[in-house]
Amino acid sequence: MRSESEMMRLIIEFARSNQAIRAVIMNGSRVNPNAPKDPFQDFDIACLVTDVAPFRQRQDIPAYFGELMILQLPNDMGDPPPDGDGSYAYLMQFMDGNRIDLSFHPLEKEQILVEDSLSVVLLDKDRRYPDLPPPDDHSYYPLPPTAKNFDDCCNEFWWVNPYAAKGLWRDELTYARYMLDTVVREQFMKMVDWYFGVQTGFQKSPGKLGKYLKRQLDPSVWAQIENTYASSRADAAWQALFTMNDLFRSLALEVAQHFGFTYPAEDDRRVSAFIRLIHDLPRDARTIP
């Protein structure tokens, strides 16, 4: 695997040799002083250019950086559809394990890039960025919820809970797990982030998709979060749902107390009772007692 210094030298040489590239900015975990370092961190490289068009669909660009394992051109894909912001990117995974996400942006997009607090200028041919501050991850701190954010999260969490329960009772594995692991969990993780924010004064980052939570939360809370991830067995999925509901309630009450919000205890009580009824209902039942 090529070293970080080798990769950085290759990136800088590429930019210096092309007149249209006026500046190079690196974002992401490699410039995050709080991120654990490992060999699999991407090189997130943004080039500011006088014209993006000459950098589109160029096979020589990926080839310059090494032997590819796989290439993705997100701006040429239909699913998901591209952003259409005038930029163009090469997402390159190389055979030696290195990965570069290389993007080209019009010069007028510079402010969007430098406003990311995880930004380091690698090359500045026109000396446009003399005072960029040292990188930190404050752009990724969770934001305190408004009362409306909190109410909507609680409402959606308890509203979609029976979807997962009904899928489990019907033995519809794919449907039930999508509801549990995607739809219900999305709201659950919002509450986890707000709880984390309360615990840290909203001055730390939980990481993308909560990837740093394990090393920052109380071990007892993390252990409960781990228990919300189930195997394919129905009994394990039921237990994960019950654990998720109990932990959501506990965290939401702490967030509500901190901000002076009102937790929808009656919604919780009624839905929780319904979930338990579904769990206990015989599989051959045709009516709800």
**Per-residue H/E/C for 79-139:** CCCCCCCCCEEEEEEECCCCEEEEEEEEHHHHHHHHCCCCEEEEEECCCCCCCCCCCCCHH
With a CB cutoff of 8 Å and minimum separation 6, the contacts of 253 are 263
Q: How confident is the model over 68-87, as a mean pLDDT?
A: 90
Same domain? For 227 and 116 the reply is no
pLDDT of 84 higher than 80? no
Asked if 134 and 176 sit in the same domain, the reply is: no
Q: What integer is the mean pLDDT of 202-225?
A: 94
Per-residue pLDDT, averaged over 135-149, amounts to: 94
Tell me phi and psi for residue 22, to 5 degrees: -100, -25
Note whether 107 and 210 are same-domain residues.
Answer: no
In a domain, 155, yes or no: yes
Instruction: Check whether residue 120 and residue 200 sit in a common domain.
Output: no
Residue 117 CA to residue 212 CA, distance in Å, equals 18
Which tens digit of pLDDT belongs to each residue from 123-133?
999 998 877 88
Which of 87, 112, 139 is where one domain is finished? 139
Please report the pLDDT score of residue 71 as a whole number: 98
Whether residue 134 is found in the same domain as residue 182: no
Residue 254 has pLDDT above 80, yes or no: yes
Task: Compute the mean pLDDT over every residue in the chain, rounded to the nearest whole number.
Answer: 94
Instruction: Give pLDDT, residue 83.
Output: 78
Domain assignment present for 289: no
In a domain, 98, yes or no: yes
- Residue 201 DSSP SS3: coil
- Distances 209 to 68, 137, 278 between C-alpha atoms, Å: 27, 14, 31
Could you tell me if 123 and 146 lie in one domain? no
pLDDT exceeds cutoff 90 at 114: no
If asked whether residues 93 and 196 sit together in one domain, one would say no
Whether 285 maps to a domain, the answer reads no
Cα Rg, the chain, nearest whole Å: 24
What's 86's domain CATH number?
A: 3.30.460.10
Residues 246 and 224 in one domain: yes
SS3 27: strand
Q: Is the pLDDT of residue 288 over 80?
A: no
pLDDT in tens, 149-204: 999 999 999 999 999 999 999 999 999 999 999 999 999 999 999 999 999 999 99
Note whether 273 and 163 are same-domain residues.
yes
CA proximity to 213, closest of 245, 179, 189: 189
DSSP-assigned letters across all residues of 54-79: GGTT-THHHHHH--EEEEE-GGG-SS
Q: What is the CATH number of the domain that holds 188?
A: 1.20.120.330
Residues 226 and 112 in one domain: no
List the beta bridge partners of residue 230: none
Decide if 167 is inside a domain: yes
174, part of any domain: yes
Q: Give the model confidence (pLDDT) of 265-286 as tens digits.
A: 999 999 999 999 999 999 877 7
Indicate whether 176 belongs to any domain: yes
288 located within any domain: no
Q: Using the predicted structure, report yes or no on whether residue 21 has a pLDDT greater than 80.
A: yes
Domain boundary among 139, 170, 203: 139
Omega before 80 cis (within 30°)?
yes
* 28-45 per-position pLDDT tens digit: 999 999 888 898 999 999
Helix (H/G/I), strand (E/B), else coil: 195: helix
**How many domains does one find in the chain?**
2
3-state secondary structure of 25: strand
pLDDT attached to residue 133: 86
- Is residue 130 domain-shared with residue 180, that is, in the same domain? no
Same domain, 191 and 160: yes
- Bridge partner list, 49: 21, 106
- Domain range for 227 is 142-280
Residue 138 contacts by C-beta under 8 Å, 6 or more apart in sequence?
117, 203, 205
Q: What is the pLDDT of residue 65?
A: 98
Last residue of a domain, one of 139, 161, 179: 139
Residue 4 clears pLDDT 90, i.e. is over it: yes
The stretch 235-244 carries a mean pLDDT of: 97
